[in-house]
Amino acid sequence: MVYPFSGRRIQLWLLLAGLGLLSTPAIAQTTPSVAPARPGAVPTAGSATSGLPRLEPLPAISHLAASDTSSLTELTAAAFLLSGHDSVSALAAERILEALLAEAALLAIAIQDPYQRGEAVMQLLHDKALKAYHEPTTTLSAALLEGRYNCVSASVLFLLLSRAAGLDSFGVITTDHSFCTVRLAPDRFVDAETTNRFGWDPGSHKEFADNQGGGVGYRYVPPGDYAERQTVPDRVLVGLIAQNRITLLERSQRWPEAFELMVDLHAWQSDAASLSSLADRAGNYAGSLANGRRWGQAAAFLAAFAAAYPTTAKLDGLLAMVRYGQLTEYLPGADLADGQAAIVAGHEAGWLEAADVDELIAYLYSRVAEATARDRQWQAAWELLQAGLARWPDNDRLVELERQAGQNWAYGVHNRFATLFNAGRYAEARAILESALTLAPANRLLQDDYAVAQRQAGQSQP
């Protein structure tokens, strides 16, 4: 029988943990000196990786990311690019934002008190843009054109408008939320819970006129319990737009789109967190290909990724698994020489372990030997395995296969001997055994048969 694969390493790739919605995972303070994509490493059209996701960021993102500082104009442009809407929608949304930014700039002149100005910015944002909270809706275009927003889009818009109003504002994230804070004095900060129109300075009472009775009422937004709050760079806050989109894309199993957006996000942030997330997205995309047994595409993509970005142990392991999958699909149709060459090449390249080499070599020889034995070429099958054992003497599987093949050959010799012996053709029967014993002098079955032949010969002498 053909020696089967154990299946020890043929398994579906378990997709890496995805990004969380809103502002949560994999977001940290920017860290310098993280390698971006290396120029020239990305394959061109017509190469072995044609049809795979792009590995270079959009030129517009690269241009914005190249600046040492993030001006209001650059932050706005990046926010729209990472929102990913079509040009028509983006243009309409940009015009709305331009008008809002102009109104916010007027607040810097009209309201001298920065506390009151911050509250006015919040009112402007909710009066002129934000209408309905919707957790999955994270893009600027959706917020400006449809009024649907979540904490990320609301925080980014407040950051832009407050900066236009001359306020010293920053983005803040927690484990599952984002908002803003404004520095009014060196030691005084006021939070802005941007998802609530009364969210300026949570914990304070907001006075409002009662339209019914003409009296005065109050609004109150409780302060958040933000024990794990973290002030983040502007690029990280804006980048949350893309991160949320990536989360939604991966939930829909749109792996190539999620990866390409992550390429853009990493170019924009260029920090350790975005690089780590990029590697995870690469693993998810390659894993989806491996799950579909598209080994060639997966191997080409992972090799291209490793040429463009620093790889990880997880990706190296996935590439080894993919190459193993390629090999196991190639071997059933390979001849002995080519199959062995492929196995040796995998071992020398470092992605095929010694135990896998033994298993695959045993499979290859057993497959070829079984095909040979189908034509009752028992001796040829045995000799094939003997030759294999001579080349791979430490392969325990081959040792057992060679033993079984030798025994099968001996059974064939025995059957031929029995047929001739029972027909009274004793000399021919004995000659078969004598020839066979030169090949396997220690075979117990053949020795017993020869003893029978010897006794018959003694009885037939006068």
Nearest residue to 285 via CA among 245, 256, 317: 256
Residues 229-246 have pLDDT tens digits of: 999 999 999 999 999 999
User: 341-363, pLDDT tens digit by residue?
Assistant: 999 999 999 999 999 999 999 99
Task: Sketch the domain layout of the chain as residue ranges.
Answer: 59-294, 334-460
Give the chain's length: 462
Contact (CB, 8 A) for 376 and 412: yes
CA separation for the pair 7, 10 (Å, rounded): 5
Of 118, 71, 78, nearest in space to 94 by CA: 78
Exposure string over 58-87, b if 16+ CB within 10 A, otherwise e: beebeebbeeeebeeebbbbbbbbbbbbee
What global pTM score does this model have? 0.76
pLDDT at residue number 322: 95
pLDDT of residue 171: 97
**Which of 113-127, 181-195, 209-223 shows the lowest per-residue confidence on average (mean pLDDT)?**
209-223
For 431-457, what is the mean pLDDT?
91
Q: What is the mean pLDDT of the chain?
A: 85
* pLDDT score of 224: 58
Q: How confident is the model over 237-286, as pLDDT tens digits?
A: 999 999 999 999 999 999 999 999 999 999 999 999 999 999 999 999 99
Give yes or no for residue 209 having a pLDDT over 50: no
Longest dimension (CA), the chain: 141
- What does the pLDDT read at residue 44? 27
The predicted model gives 149-168 an average pLDDT of 97
Ramachandran category for residue 270: left, alpha or beta (phi over 0 → left; psi -120 to 50 → alpha): left
Strand, helix or coil for residue 180: strand
pLDDT tens-digit profile of 2-56? 333 333 333 333 334 344 444 332 322 222 222 333 322 222 223 344 689 999 9
Only one residue has tokens 């090449």, namely 345
Closest C-alpha among 287, 266, 251 to residue 26? 266
Q: Give the model's pLDDT for residue 376.
A: 74
Cα 202 from Cα 222, distance rounded (Å): 5
Phi, psi of 114 (to 5 degrees): -65, -30
Cα–Cα distance for residue pair 214/194, rounded to 1 Å: 28
* Residue 206 binned pLDDT confidence (cut-offs 50, 70, 90): low
Q: What is the pLDDT of residue 35?
A: 31
User: Residue written as tokens 């700039």?
Assistant: 105
